[in-house]
Amino acid sequence: MKKLSFIACLLLVTAVQAQIKWPAITQTAKPWTRWWWEGSAVNKAGLSGLMRQYQEAGLGGLEITPIYGVRGAEQQFIPFLSTKWVGMLEYTLQEAKRLNMGIDMATGTGWPFGGPWVTPEDACKNVNLKTWNLKGGEQLTEKITFTQQPLVRTVSGKPVDIKTLTWPIATNKNLQEYAFDQVRYEKQLPVTLLMGYDEQGNSQDLTAKVSADGTLNWTAPVGNWTLYGLFQGWHGKMVERAAPGGEGDVIDHFSLPALQHYLQYFDKAFAGKGVKGIRSFFNDSYEVDDARGQANWTPGILQAFQQRRGYDLRKELPALYGKDTKEKNERVLSDYRQTISELLLEKFTTPWHSWAKAKGALIRNQSHGSPANILDLYGAIDIPETEGTDILRFKFATSTAHVMGKPLASAEAATWLNEHFLSTLGDVKLALDKYFVGGVNHIFYHGTNYSPKDDPWPGWLFYAAVHFHPNNPFWKDFPTLNQYVARCQSFLQAGKPDNDVLLYFPIYDRFAEPGRDLLHHFDGMEGFENTDFKNSAAWMLEKGYAFDIFSDKQLQQVKNNGTGLLSGGNAYKTILLAETKYLPLETLQKLVTLAQNGATVIVHKTLPGDVPGYGTLDKRQAAFKNLLAQLKFTRANGMQQAVLGKGKFILGDNLQQLLTAAKVPQETMAAQGLQCIRRTIPGGGKYYFITNTGKQRVDSLVNISTAADHVALFDPMQGRQGRAVVQKETGGQTAVYLQLNPGESCVLQTAAKSPGGEVFPYYGATGKAIKIEGTWNVSFISGGPVLPAATTTTQLTSWTEWPGEEVKKFSGTAVYKITFAEPAAETDYFLLDLGNVQESAEVFLNGKRIATLIGPVFQTVIWAGDLKASNLLEIRVTNGMANRIADMDKKGVGWKKFYNTNFPARLPANRGADGLFTAVNWTPKASGLTTEVTLTPIVFIDKLKIKQPDPSRIIE
């Protein structure tokens, strides 16, 4: 067998590393995690010990979010923002500095913003409508009053008699036990506004004619009159998952005084304290209205509406509540929603940002779920954050980062990825790749619990999986995932966005849609089902067109760049309007100006037909029509084109044809099951992150839309790198040779000059797979509830299928050892394939560590020079928490000991009679090596005959 010397291999690797460099791994490039402080029951020793574990596992930072407590630990609870609590924060910041870790902090406990210091005046409000009918000459005999009905909702589900509660809610004791989600007290609400309307549209403000007891001192004039009474009430939303000292009302997000009063509590707690090490303050998703009714009112809204919309809402209540003509109803409702949107931006998001900036800190915000234009909310902060599993949902946060020139877009990652205890590191890796493709470059795991070292297994847990903490057996191999994330993010943070299409967000179409409630909420594509906006976005994603979504407000800062566009310092080729109905006059004016100066605006299906809203409608409509009249369309090639100055508008029904006309490149690798994101490298070149989301291995040339003479190829999972085999294609594109199994990813770096070094280690089989046969010696080295006895096997199956009960309950690590003879194959390298591994594996050969494999592919290359006549293969396989948890549930061992939500299942099948999660019906989850292990002789690129490239066009 031919073998390279160890020195030769070392020199080869050194040469590659010297020429092709990975970006530096910074604190921010590493993944971070949300750090749940349950009950804020932390101490200095625990903080130090856990932070050291987190740092050693490869985490770059922590976001402190205090939440509900653990039963039995009440004596350790520390009230939020108390002197002791701030002392623990200061100590955490000191330790983080020592360990070179970053610290973010939620601006509150749980979510949304609120707490015991939020007064009824500052709490979130709602508006209640009551109507009466009168004829001319009549007086109303009924009192103008409204009784707010009592309501109590608890997360714990425990019945509570509201008559036993004092008002306001924060004056009650034992709020951890209650776990309130929403509380409304029975109250007589005074009238906020009383308006009378006759059949001719005349109106009268009757508010001043209502006496203190509700008597209306007014006789209806001639005609039929309808009276509209508005009554300001309390929405009653409580802080969800509140920590001790954080329980109470949620603030009015549309009121600047409410926010200021809320933040003053932090100012007081932080005064004179060493908290300047906080990198960023955090706000979880809006989630005020995931309760009964909506927080849809604020005391100053009538004045704000008139100032912003130019007319008096008091005169248009019938239209607001859908009782006027269909068109007027939609327009007034749109104006109300726009006003709420602006108040949330200007009275909450922007001043919260200013408050944090004055403290030298950034802010991270999950804007989704709010009744506002979430693109504008994301635009007002430093780090937009998304969550979930849908790339189009991610796009709202990441697009704003791109369009506004923000370097980071974060994600609350892997929340409820699967049921508790079932997600593997390989599952998480696939989820993270989707975030990367969607534009995220700053991962926050969801999440990691502070859990005392001496607490019985499984320790303190959060109610939503995945559980990224040291009690999870996969923690042993967690550093491998974190290293992968850090490598990927080092590229994704180093480059700048390189998307081509700016897709208009038609929020006014949605604002005008009537619904059950006054407000709509915006979260990804929810509410845009069956719209051309969503369909166009989904089609571009599927077909490999790179795009970002933008708002009307963001459009105003877009500039011309020759025939292209600049936004946030990033270049785009065109703007796309996807069958939009309502377009603000200012937006059309900006689009026309951009076109006149050289831009191409493409319009799918139909031109916008009208301006939104009701105020000064005739004037705005006339100006809108005059602008549209400037577009003189002529038909050609199945499209219509209107030249306007140096640029043009192009209208058509075929989106691909429109994009081609706008010279938008397509990443055709999508047809091969590959998804990618492309970024521009300062100084020249592009980065591509590519992942195989298909079901087939890709072992071929793959086109990229970038013209490149040279490409470096990086494997972020195993740390391999080298020069890619590339081929020039017609049309200025480049074909890059890739080998990616389903679920595998890579990074490309294009360059005009050769990066030097060796060719990337592509490989191909030169013979059949050789099964490693013989007797496997298996010992269980860590985990529980007890370590099963050592055993031997000649056939690899799940260890849960082996004799005995202990293997069926076991969660932890087992070591598989086997001795095998050197294969009689003439080769320099072998591909070791572990087959199906449950769930991660660390590989050693003859005492030398080879790799840690977390899936979904469990293969690694072995140098033949490491083989001897007789060889010891050692594989340390780690499973998850599931089997041990199931054993505990079957035995009735109490581990679900948490206040508030304790302990919900993601799937209905796993809910017990008490409504909580249970694994009592689970059968043992497969664990260990479950299929044969093989060695396949392979040869690398210098000897591999790659058939696909044309030798005459290969770039050396």
Cβ–Cβ under 8 Å, residues 895 and 884: no
What the block records as the tokens of 665 is 């490149």
What the block records as the tokens of 620 is 């705005």
Per-residue pLDDT at 17:
38
Question: Residues 719, 724, 730, CA angle at the centre, nearest 5°?
Answer: 145
* Dist CA 745 CA 512 (whole Å): 43
What the block records as the tokens of 850 is 């080879």
Cβ–Cβ under 8 Å, residues 797 and 849: no
Number of residues in the chain: 956
Per-residue pLDDT at 22:
94
10 Å Cβ neighbour count for 562? 11
Question: Residues 394, 682, 664, CA angle at the centre, nearest 5°?
Answer: 55
Cβ–Cβ under 8 Å, residues 343 and 303: no
3 state DSSP class of 344: helix
Cβ contacts of residue 11 below 8 Å, gap of 6+?
A: none
Task: Please state the pTM of the whole predicted model.
Answer: 0.96
Cβ–Cβ under 8 Å, residues 63 and 383: no
* Dist CA 372 CA 515 (whole Å): 15
Torsion (CA) 252, 257, 260, 265 in degrees, nearest 10:
-80
In one-letter notation, the amino acid at residue 185 is Y
* SS3 of the chain: helix, strand, coil, percent, to 5: 30, 30, 45
* Dist CA 706 CA 731 (whole Å): 10
- For β-strands 647-652 and 600-604, DSSP reports them as parallel
In one-letter notation, the amino acid at residue 886 is A
Cβ–Cβ under 8 Å, residues 386 and 397: yes
SS (H, E, C) 215-234: CECCECCCCEEEEEEEEEEE
Euclidean distance between the first and the last CA atom of the chain, given in angstroms as a whole number: 29
Q: Look at residues 820, 793, 825 and name the one whose alpha carbon lies nearest to residue 807.
A: 793
Torsion (CA) 182, 466, 75, 112 in degrees, nearest 10:
-30
* Dist CA 103 CA 731 (whole Å): 48
- For β-strands 383-387 and 362-365, DSSP reports them as parallel
What the block records as the tokens of 503 is 């897709």
pLDDT beneath 70: ranges in the chain: 1-19, 942-956
Cβ–Cβ under 8 Å, residues 249 and 169: yes
The pair phi, psi for residue 101, each rounded to 5°, is -120, 150
Per-residue pLDDT at 942:
55
Q: Look at residues 468, 458, 368 and name the one whose alpha carbon lies nearest to residue 414.
A: 468
